[in-house]
Amino acid sequence: MSGPGRHEKTVERVTEIYVAVFPVPVNEDRIAEVILAGYQKNATVPNSTLVRATVETHAEAVQDLVQLCDEIVSEQTEIDSYRLLKFDKDGIHILSPDHYRTFAQSYARVQWGQC
């Protein structure tokens, strides 16, 4: 509510959540899926770090989320996969990370040569 002379604030409501979950061993016979969060060096500002989590609230950010998760899988030896999930009013949906990868991301480990 706003009175005369006050600025109205626009609230952008969350209608969907995208989450990457990683299988992590709890003990010998049990694995739990977890959401990861941590610090990442900021490439554009060398003296700062970013707090990153494997959760996004906008579809436009899912491509960056997939890139982050692919980096986690390639760098962390104890993690070899993840699932990409979408939560919305219709329930939980399993998504394919391939739908959000760029050409460069899809073929990052390929070496090209002459035929």
Three-state secondary-structure class, residue 109: coil
Q: Is the pLDDT at 115 greater than 60, yes or no?
A: no
Q: Is the pLDDT at 32 greater than 60, yes or no?
A: yes
Q: Which two tokens stand for residue 81?
A: 């996969």
Helices (H) and strands (E) in the chain, counts: 2, 7
Q: Hey, which of 35-44, 72-81, 96-105 has the most confident mean pLDDT? A: 72-81
Q: What is the pLDDT of residues 54-86, one digit of tens each?
A: 999 999 999 999 999 999 999 988 899 999 999
Single-letter code of the amino acid located at 89:
K
User: pTM to 2 decimals?
Assistant: 0.74
The whole-angstrom separation of Cα 60 and Cα 100 is 10
